[in-house]
Amino acid sequence: MSTSFVSKPTVSSTVRLLPLLVSFDEEIDIRRNLLEIPRYRHLSFENSLQLPSELERIVISGHEQLLSKYYEEIRRPTCRLIGMTDHRFHDPRIDALVYAYLPANTPHTLLERTIDNALDHIHLIHVREQINERLRGVTREIEELNKIGAALSAEHHLDSLLELILTKSRHITNADAGSLYLVEAAEEKNETQSAEHPPALPTKANGASGLPAAALAREEVEDARKPKRLRFKLAQNDSIDIPFRESTMEINHHSIAGYVASTGEIVNIEDAYHVTPEVPYSINRSFDEDSGYRTKSILAVPLRDQKDRIAGVLQLINAKRDGRVRLDSLSAVDEQVVSFNNRQQDIVASLGSQAAVAVENSRLYESIQRLFEGFVRASVIAIEARDPTTSGHSFRVANLTVALAEAVQRVETGPYADLRFTREEMREIRYASLLHDFGKVGVREEVLVKAKKLYPAQLELVKQRFEFVKRSMQVEKLQQRLDYVLEKGREEYLAKLGKFDEELREQLEEVDRFFSLVLKSDEPTVLPEGSFERLLDIAARHYHDFDGGEKPLITPDEVRLLSIRKGSLDDQERQQIESHVVHTFNFLQQIPWTSEIRNIPEIARGHHEKLNGLGYPYKLSAPEIPVQTRMMTISDIFDALSAADRPYKRAVDLERALQILSFAVKDGELDGSLFQIFVDAKVFERWKIEAYPY
């Protein structure tokens, strides 16, 4: 990777002063001996105290009392003590300060060598401290990079991830501002293809369709060749508030970000207002002129993924000496802003690679989420298509349950004051709500959509039977008339004709009344007192079939079905409907959920359970029903009560629906605290508002 670096030459004016040889005025022999060493500056101890403490100095003395007096000054890291004495100092503090002991009559050549060694020791300790400091800095950087890498790996939400990348990059370089761009495919208009007529996959000889590996590889190459553009995704600035709006720009050499995205080179600029004319890009000063900001040092690095493709550009602005200082004036800029050094450049480049992989993973994660979301929605629509009267039920239950969960997190009193759901737990709640009725795929469709107590074919059979009975009565009466006229003659027949007609009319009306009662009994409502007995009366009536056999007007099985006191299902059919919960649980258990949303089957399986243990199918009690399921149960019942009319019941208004739910609370079936939140937060108003897809 090549690097474009624009800077102005600087000249160092640092001058290193000669070290000091320091002695006390009271020690005349030592001062005279030091005069034989001309390579160093000589100074009395008292005068040396006036000089900066950073100056290197070698103290030569054998006077323990004087050394004790100036103990703090001598123990500085830039000072070394050579003891010119024939005996060790008695004070252990002073003895500990001595770099070397020399006899009082030591030749000046040996003394000079000892002084050189003492200075080397100062330098060695200083270099060691510098190395240790650099190592500590590198260690901090590595630890910070590891933390950043872990954070990038843990964050899947793209917007939060981009915010994290830019924030951490600025923090580790003390950058005052920064921006982030992502490479995306430019939109292309294709007149030959549309959503209604997508391109067909090639068909193989066996009739299967798909792309071979070579074709997939060619498609990947073609995707890489498609025109790209940069999307300005994020901007941050510690010194000024900047209005931000996403925008797109072409990838070319006119801008720094476009140049980096196009070439893959790093751009490191010391002063944006003094760029050499050889570079192809230019600095747009309009932002600085409008905001009063001063852009100076710039570092722009490409975000390269694991395939060495450029996924975006990270641009940092104005590296500061102190990251806490605001650049609210030109003097602050001059004092604080420095160029990005090579170490920072390498760190940001490394961080950029991690960021690119994280962005790619985030995009992949989001695409998987969209894929799964599409699968869930398509599955729900497919299941509800089997029963059009309940269409939209699962989506409305999800809307209500998520809204209730959000409301629960806002309460500050009651048993749920401390309850908070993570993003993943909210996703669990939403998916469990969407899929809570998926098990209806295992219920026979005729049972699922049964609107009356009798199936349509059964009712049609009863109707045809009654028509047959009426026709038989008419035939029988005609035969009676014929026999009568043959036996009695025309005059008597005509005299009795009215009676014949009246008897037939009464018989037919009775059969019609019987059939009307059957139709009324077929409606899934609670029948009036005595209606069931009348059904038994009808069942006691018989007719003769074609073979002359005697048959009941309605069969015992038909009487049983028509006598259902509530709803349209008998016990066996109700068990089939209730079994959808078991089917749902078994189906959801087959899905390899990630650890974050592994509780979806457990949440969904209890939506027909009651806190008093009278629900179905598992008869769970309150401690066994999670709060997520309790919320879903309230939402499920509310939608079942308030939804559009269904064949087996009429919809009720809001007031009546809430009243029925309150009765369920009093009966110990529903969670009273959650229901109160449902009412107080007016969750029911979110009934048909699409829930946020956590």
DSSP H helical segments within 155-173, as ranges? Answer: 158-173
Q: What are the CA-CA distances from residue 70 to residues 20, 45, 76, 588, 596 (Å)?
A: 17, 9, 11, 82, 67
Rounded average pLDDT over 499-506: 85
Of 140-144, 205-209, 254-258, 522-526, where does mean pLDDT reach its minimum?
205-209
Rounded average pLDDT over 311-320: 93
pLDDT at residue 203, rounded to an integer: 43
- Lookup: tokens for 668: 């110990």
Rounded average pLDDT over 337-365: 86
- Burial class of residue 185 (count of CB atoms within 10 Å of its CB; 0-12, 13-18, 19+): exposed
pLDDT classification of 474: cutoffs 50, 70, 90: confident
Residue given tokens 């939140």 in the structure block: 677
Rounded average pLDDT over 351-374: 84
Domain ranges for the chain: 20-128, 155-187+225-367, 386-444+572-686, 456-567
pLDDT for 652-666, tens place per residue? 888 999 999 999 999
Q: Which residues contact 389 (CB under 8 A, 6 or more apart)?
A: 449, 451, 644, 646, 647
pLDDT for 159-184, tens place per residue? 888 888 888 889 889 999 999 999 98
Checking if the pLDDT of 143 tops 80, the result is no
- Lookup: tokens for 49: 């105290």
- Lookup: tokens for 524: 């899934």
Give the amino acid at 479. Q
The span from the CA of 297 to the CA of 299, in Å, is 7
Give the amino acid at 540. A
Q: Does domain 386-444+572-686 have CATH number 1.10.3210.10?
A: yes
Average pLDDT over all residues of the chain? 84
Give the amino acid at 597. I
pLDDT at residue 391, rounded to an integer: 80
Is the bond into 38 cis (omega within 30 degrees of 0)? no
pLDDT at residue 353, rounded to an integer: 83
CATH dotted code for 20-128: 3.40.50.2300
pLDDT classification of 209: cutoffs 50, 70, 90: very low
pLDDT for 148-161, tens place per residue? 777 777 777 788 88
pLDDT at residue 544, rounded to an integer: 85
Give the amino acid at 691. A
Checking if the pLDDT of 48 tops 80, the result is yes
pLDDT at residue 492, rounded to an integer: 82
Rounded (10°) angle between helices 393-408 and 672-680: 90
With a pLDDT cut of 90, the percent of the chain lying above it is: 36
pLDDT at residue 214, rounded to an integer: 53
pLDDT classification of 188: cutoffs 50, 70, 90: low
The span from the CA of 307 to the CA of 357, in Å, is 9
pLDDT for 229-251, tens place per residue? 999 999 999 998 878 888 899 99
Residue 147 falls in which region: left (phi positive, over 0), alpha (psi -120 to 50) or beta: alpha
Q: Does domain 155-187+225-367 have CATH number 3.40.190.80?
A: no
Checking if the pLDDT of 509 tops 70, the result is yes
The span from the CA of 192 to the CA of 623, in Å, is 60
Checking if the pLDDT of 13 tops 60, the result is no
The span from the CA of 444 to the CA of 677, in Å, is 37
pLDDT at residue 224, rounded to an integer: 58
Checking if the pLDDT of 497 tops 90, the result is no
pLDDT at residue 211, rounded to an integer: 47
Q: Beta-carbon neighbour count of residue 272 at 10 Å? A: 20
Q: Beta-carbon neighbour count of residue 464 at 10 Å? A: 10
The span from the CA of 531 to the CA of 539, in Å, is 13
Is the bond into 617 cis (omega within 30 degrees of 0)? yes
Handedness of CA 529, 532, 536, 537 (dihedral sign): positive
pLDDT at residue 201, rounded to an integer: 46
- Burial class of residue 70 (count of CB atoms within 10 Å of its CB; 0-12, 13-18, 19+): middle
pLDDT at residue 158, rounded to an integer: 80
The span from the CA of 175 to the CA of 341, in Å, is 12
Give the amino acid at 694. Y
- Lookup: tokens for 567: 């709803």
pLDDT for 16-27, tens place per residue? 567 889 999 999
* Dihedral (Cα; 185, 191, 197, 198), 10-degree rounding: -20
H or E element in which residue 184 lies: strand 175-185
The span from the CA of 634 to the CA of 607, in Å, is 9
pLDDT for 86-97, tens place per residue? 999 999 999 999
The span from the CA of 108 to the CA of 606, in Å, is 97
pLDDT at residue 196, rounded to an integer: 44
pLDDT for 36-46, tens place per residue? 888 888 989 98
- Burial class of residue 165 (count of CB atoms within 10 Å of its CB; 0-12, 13-18, 19+): buried
> Considering just the CA atoms, what is the radius of gyration of the chain in Å?
46
Give the amino acid at 156. H
The span from the CA of 606 to the CA of 159, in Å, is 35
Checking if the pLDDT of 81 tops 70, the result is yes
Spatial contact of 350 and 141, defined as CB atoms under 8 Å apart:
no
H or E element in which residue 288 lies: helix 286-291
Rounded average pLDDT over 311-331: 91
pLDDT at residue 237, rounded to an integer: 92
Secondary structure, 3-state, 141-158: HHHHHHHHHHHHHHCCCH
Q: 615-633: buried (b, 16+ CB within 10 Å) or exposed (e) per residue?
A: bbbbebeeeebebbbbbbb
DSSP 8-state code for residue 649: B
pLDDT at residue 14, rounded to an integer: 42
Checking if the pLDDT of 517 tops 60, the result is yes
Residue given tokens 């005697």 in the structure block: 550
pTM for this predicted structure: 0.62
pLDDT for 430-460, tens place per residue? 999 999 988 888 777 777 677 788 888 888 9
Residue 549 falls in which region: left (phi positive, over 0), alpha (psi -120 to 50) or beta: beta
* Dihedral (Cα; 620, 623, 629, 633), 10-degree rounding: 60
The span from the CA of 122 to the CA of 118, in Å, is 6
Higher pLDDT, 138 or 326: 326
CA nearest neighbour of 33 among 83, 100, 108: 108
Checking if the pLDDT of 8 tops 50, the result is no
pLDDT at residue 5, rounded to an integer: 46
Q: What are the CA-CA distances from residue 193 to residues 107, 188, 196, 653, 668 (Å)?
A: 99, 11, 8, 48, 59
Q: What are the CA-CA distances from residue 527 to residues 458, 555, 660, 670 (Å)?
A: 20, 19, 21, 28
